[in-house]
Amino acid sequence: MVKLLGASVLVLGSGLAGVSVGGNYTRRPRELKSLQTALKLLATEISYALSPLPEAMANVAARSPAEAASLFRVAGAELAANTGGGAAQAWQKATARFGLNTSLTGNDLALVNQLGQALGISDRDDQMSHLELVLHQIDLQIDEAQAAAAKNARLWNYLGFLGGLALALILY
Amino acid sequence: MNGSVLIEPPVPCTDPWPRLWPFLPERVACLLKGWPRSLLGAVEEIRLRAGRPLTLTVGGQAVPAGPGGPAGDPAAVLQLDGSDLQACVELISGSSLYALEEELKRGFLTLPGGHRVGLTGQAVLNDGRVRSLKHLAGLNIRVAREARGAARPVVPHLYDREADRIRHTILVSPPGGGKTTVLRDLVRLISSGVPSLHLAGRAVGLADERSEVAGCYRGQPRLDVGPNTDVLDNCPKAEGLMMLLRSMGPRVLATDEIGQGSDVDALLEAQNAGVSLLATAHAGSVGELFRRPGLQRLLAAGAVERVVVLGRSPTPGTLVEVRGGWHLEPLEVKSRGQTPGGVGPGSG
């Protein structure tokens, strides 16, 4: 009886671990798409509304999908607090905090982070070209993430349960 | 220049530095905070240039800045680099340089507090005209000071009590002579009224093309220009004067630094509409004023009843001479040589 209980805990545990890893793969394209939408909103704020950056960030946070909103909310608050580091530092802090709670990879985050070096320090056309470059790179990341999700999400879901089952059988 | 709109009453104090520190790069602010207050009080301009020493204009002289005061030894001068300029641009633009398109095109912007920042760098052209600036490499922050009472000695010469009107007047001085400071105070006094002269407050329209008189930030005057003054900020003078005349019904129209033909046309138009005119003009002397073609026309049309000459010594804004009458001959000035109200330096 105890053995059976132990085996089912093992199967359930490793199954859930597999689902969690697989979930990361399916969440990443979704988060990248949200980020892309939010950055497009930022581009609109900059090119058409010409809103100052703190205001632009707050507006984007209010209108963008939930997954990306926190990044812009934090960046906007940092900028409004004007701690002296400028847009680059505010953006870096915001991406660091955003990265703690996301399925994005280090590469994705580095892409977002690098945008901070250019934010707010040049004219509209230059800002647009930087944003367009990042949006294009995110496009590529989305393709890659979708391929990885198709390949790995189901694999990890099965692998978790089957691996747990195999281990349980060996130990039984 | 943060996102939120700042709504504060104009600050009556004349110490401009608390409003300036947040816009200076850390190294520059640290250095200048070590200067004695008396010296800071005399600073007219702060010039930042990438790759060159920090230079201040004090009492009309360019002074290399070192720790604790002007640096005699070239090694002690604070050398600025590109990152200082970059930091300053970020601070004055609120990390939103792209939002300052119009300002970059004109080559200057105004900080909250009325301080004007001139910009140089590489011009970006479009069809042969300057569209913007990039690679900003030089900034000149002109420290704006309010000097309440600076125009008090001037007002009696301009007010015609019998007709209850202000005479058409041009304030004249060389650059840095305190024209703008005196004009600002004159507008304030006329707008609020001077009971001792039986001058009742009246509506003043101010066309402030370079945001220097009222120091507008987002359309709201940040320097005290009186309770009854309408400011059209950032608007070309000729157009602004006509707009104010048509829309706001002013009894007095004021503007800074006239000279171009179109300004003169607008002033003549306004004069015919029965509005009193106040303007300033760069000129070392009245003789120079008479030689400027645009102003010649204004003078020939009899549109100037008083010329007030201001000087730099002992302090900017000192009343030197008042001229009036048919040939603009010198009138007797009782307060000659006095410092009207203790005008601080700067804001020429």
Cα–Cα distance between B31 and B24 in angstroms, integer?
11
Per-domain boundaries in chain A: 31-137
Cα–Cα distance between B187 and B229 in angstroms, integer?
8
From chain A, pick out residues whose CB is under 8 angstroms from the CB of B2.
Answer: 52, 54, 79-80, 82
Residue B337 clears pLDDT 80, i.e. is over it = no
Least trusted range by pLDDT, from A60-64, A163-167, B58-62: B58-62
Q: Rg of chain A's alpha carbons, rounded to an integer? A: 21
3-state helix, strand, coil in chain B (%, to 5): 30, 30, 40
Rounded mean pLDDT, B277-302: 86
Residues 50-109 of A with CB under 8 A from B: 50-56, 58, 76, 79-80, 82, 84, 86-87, 90
Q: Is the peptide bond before B293 cis (omega within 30 degrees of 0)?
A: no
Instruction: Kindly indicate the confidence band of residue A70, based on its pLDDT and cuts at 50, 70 and 90.
Output: very high
Tracing tokens 């989305």 back to the chain, one arrives at A142
pLDDT confidence of residue B199 = 92
Q: Which domains can be identified in chain B, with CATH numbers?
A: 17-142 (3.30.450), 155-331 (3.40.50.300)
**pLDDT tens digits for range A31-59:** 999 999 999 999 999 999 888 899 999 99
CB contact under 8 A, A121 and B90: yes
Cα–Cα distance between B142 and B257 in angstroms, integer?
16
B/e letters for B113-127, b = 16+ CB within 10 Å, e = fewer, are bbbbbebebeebeee
Tracing tokens 């009590």 back to the chain, one arrives at B161
- Number of other residues whose CB lies within 10 A of the CB of residue B66: 20
Rounded mean pLDDT, B267-291: 88
From chain B, pick out residues whose CB is under 8 angstroms from the CB of A119.
Answer: 95
Residue B6 clears pLDDT 70, i.e. is over it = no
Residue B7 clears pLDDT 50, i.e. is over it = no
Q: Which residues pair with B279 in a beta bridge?
A: B170, B255
Q: What is the ipTM for the molecules in this complex?
A: 0.76
**pLDDT tens digits for range B92-133:** 988 888 888 888 888 888 887 778 899 999 988 889 888 888
Instruction: Kindly indicate the confidence band of residue A128, based on its pLDDT and cuts at 50, 70 and 90.
Output: very high
Residue B240 clears pLDDT 90, i.e. is over it = yes
Whole-model pTM? 0.73
pLDDT confidence of residue A31 = 93
Q: Which residues pair with B34 in a beta bridge?
A: none
Instruction: Kindly indicate the confidence band of residue B243, based on its pLDDT and cuts at 50, 70 and 90.
Output: very high
Element (H, E) at A8: helix A2-44
Task: Record the tokens describing residue B207, joined without a space.
Answer: 């066309």
Task: Record the tokens describing residue A35, joined without a space.
Answer: 């980020």
From chain A, pick out residues whose CB is under 8 angstroms from the CB of B99.
Answer: 50-53
Rounded mean pLDDT, B74-86: 90
3-state helix, strand, coil in chain A (%, to 5): 85, 0, 15
Instruction: Kindly indicate the confidence band of residue B334, based on its pLDDT and cuts at 50, 70 and 90.
Output: low
Share of chain B above pLDDT 70, in %: 91
Of A55, A86, A123, the CB nearest to B134: A123
What's chain A's average pLDDT?
Answer: 90
CB contact under 8 A, A80 and B4: yes
Rounded mean pLDDT, B187-199: 93
From chain B, pick out residues whose CB is under 8 angstroms from the CB of A84.
Answer: 26, 91
DSSP B197: G
